A and B are shown apart, each in its own frame.
Chain A
Amino acid sequence: KAGVTQTPRYLIKTRGQQVTLSCSPISGHRSVSWYQQTPGQGLQFLFEYFSETQRNKGNFPGRFSGRQFSNSRSEMNVSTLELGDSALYLCASSLGGGPALNNYGYTFGSGTRLTVV
């Protein structure tokens, strides 16, 4: 079956611009999470959506936002880009029902590498 698909794979933006990243989860998965990975901070949780509702949120400023659609696809948006937003952004999907239903945990996509110049 198809994995988690993230688009685009690479993106270059200018400071002050905004960006939207897309994530298509595995078919049947209702939970989508977003993570930011940088060399200095490692992998950090941004937020999680389940059935179109934000269920968890990490410690990121309000410039980072997301949403989930009825087909479970998700987008995240970063407004007023800063140089420090340059990172690999990873999306992960799961069934969302906990380990009894979720024997394989989260499946990650290959990520979108964002460079802010």
Chain B
Amino acid sequence: DAKTTQPPSMDCAEGRAANLPCNHSTISGNEYVYWYRQIHSQGPQYIIHGLKNNETNEMASLIITEDRKSSTLILPHATLRDTAVYYCIVVGWEKGGKLIFGQGTELSVKP
């Protein structure tokens, strides 16, 4: 399973865009990049996923570099409720999609 590297913590001002980076240099061609977040004491929440192309949904945008070795999750207008730990996970589905969580990035959105 490909490993991911994320900064342990980041701050963001409320209303500004939060850009969370993730390195996954050993990702293989059929592995997807998934992002989840976990607000204290709750189960992780799915945010977005992608393979090669950039993706956008109602929560966030995912930008994947052309070589697929890194990606950035963008929360366009961060609110205080976006304060959480964000996990970037590489998932291969051939043998079932188990999620290998790293330490994630603790995002603090400040007023």
Contacts and interface: CB of A to CB of B under 8 A. Distances in A.
Do A and B make up one complex? yes
Interface residues of B, number: 24
B44 interface: yes
Interface string B77-111: 00000000001000001011111111110000000
A104 B57 CA distance: 11
A94 interface: yes
A42 B43 contact: no
Given A98-B93, A99-B51, A108-B44, A43 B101 contact: yes
B49 A99 contact: yes
Given A42-B103, A99-B32, A111-B43, A105 B49 contact: yes
- Main SS at interface, chain B: loop
A110 B38 CA distance: 11
B42 A110 contact: yes
Contact of A56 (B41, B44, B46, B96): B96
Interface of B: 32, 34, 36, 38, 41-46, 49, 51, 87, 93, 95-104
Given A48-B97, A109-B43, 15 more contacts: A42-B101, A42-B102, A45-B98, A50-B96, A56-B96, A88-B41, A96-B97, A98-B93, A99-B32, A105-B46, A105-B49, A105-B97, A106-B97, A106-B99, A111-B43
